[in-house]
Amino acid sequence: MNAHEIDYQIFGEEMQYVEIGLDPQEAVVAEAGSFMMMETDIQMETIFGDGSNQDNSVLGKIFSAGKRVLTGESLFMTAFLNVGNSKRQLSFASPYPGKIVPIDLSEKGGKFICQKDAFLCAAKGVSVGIEFSKRLGRGLFGGEGFIMQKLEGDGMAFVHAGGTLARKELAPGEMLKADTGCIVGFTKDVDYDIEFVGGIKNTIFGGEGLFFATLRGPGVVYIQSLPFSRLASRVWAAAPKGGGKRKGEGSILGELGDLIDGDKPF
């Protein structure tokens, strides 16, 4: 194997975290902000790109970091190396309610394509790159733009899905239609495109957007029930405007309670 061979265990239900076991001199790379805790003898180092060591030249490192900028991520990642003489544990947490999905790239043909913000962490040696869409419609209307992330190598990687996770295994030619934001990722042989919903009423009053994604097998597709964009929009819609606090929300009095408390003017 080119990537480090790591052990892992996933804990929790709604707010999961993954605990990774590192043997001496094994390392894992992660997105900034996903770290939760670690034992002694684990050394942290901020690195350019993904640290996959495919090109150790200065130009290669700059290009590797530049790819991450195109996917909307930071120039840097964090590497965690076990410098001790025995096995050590460290953990990475989900950024919001959902599921952590372990992806064994050696079983996925060495490549997995996912949303730009789905990647959580991976064994050092896994390449975190970009996947350009060659189709204009998918790039303009697919929800993920022309660029998605691709994970390449033969090690373990972990991605995050919001809400409940659905795993669909598609036979050759079998097609699945999904909301563009609900796609977590898919294996390399899945054909991904977008399709117009159609119909005047659906377009104007449907409330589900103008396009949905079509995924055609063979391959495995992971679908999430709660994309972060949908969660954020619901939170924003429910937030009190102007910084006020709704004391009456959820009570029998409702807005009348706000009037009595003095939170709402007559």
pLDDT at 42: 96
Contact 170, 136 (CB under 8 A): no
Domain coverage including residue 13: 7-238
pLDDT at 242: 60
Instruction: Tell me the pLDDT band of 133, cut-offs 50, 70 and 90.
Output: low
More confident site: 141 or 220: 220
Highest mean pLDDT among 38-52, 144-158, 211-225: 211-225
Q: Is residue 254 part of a domain?
A: no
Q: Has residue 36 got a pLDDT over 70?
A: yes
- If you average pLDDT over residues 43-65, what whole number do you get? 63
Q: What is the pLDDT of residues 219-236, one digit of tens each?
A: 999 999 988 777 776 677
DSSP 3-state of 26: coil
Q: Is residue 30 part of a domain?
A: yes
DSSP 8-class letter at 249:
T
Q: Is residue 259 part of a domain?
A: no
Q: What is the pLDDT of residues 63-104, one digit of tens each?
A: 555 555 555 556 678 899 999 999 999 999 988 889 999 999
Q: Is residue 64 part of a domain?
A: yes
Q: Has residue 207 got a pLDDT over 50?
A: no
Percent of the chain with pLDDT over 70: 66
Among 43-52, 69-78, 171-180, the minimum mean pLDDT is found in: 69-78
Report d(CA 83, CA 194) in Å as an integer. 47
- If you average pLDDT over residues 38-64, what whole number do you get? 69
DSSP 3-state of 258: helix
Q: Is residue 243 part of a domain?
A: no
More confident site: 193 or 263: 193
More confident site: 106 or 195: 106
Q: Has residue 50 got a pLDDT over 80?
A: no
pLDDT at 266: 47
Highest mean pLDDT among 102-106, 133-137, 192-196: 102-106
Q: Is residue 252 part of a domain?
A: no
pLDDT at 63: 52
pLDDT at 93: 93
Report d(CA 247, CA 251) in Å as an integer. 8
Alpha helices in 44-188 (DSSP H): 58-70, 136-141
Contact 29, 79 (CB under 8 A): yes
pLDDT at 73: 56
Q: Is residue 206 part of a domain?
A: yes
**What residues form DSSP beta bridges with 197?**
none
- If you average pLDDT over residues 125-141, what whole number do you get? 66
Domain count, the chain: 1
Residue 165: which CATH number? 3.60.160.10
Q: Is residue 258 part of a domain?
A: no
Report d(CA 216, CA 175) in Å as an integer. 4
Tokens of 216: 């055609």
pLDDT at 259: 46
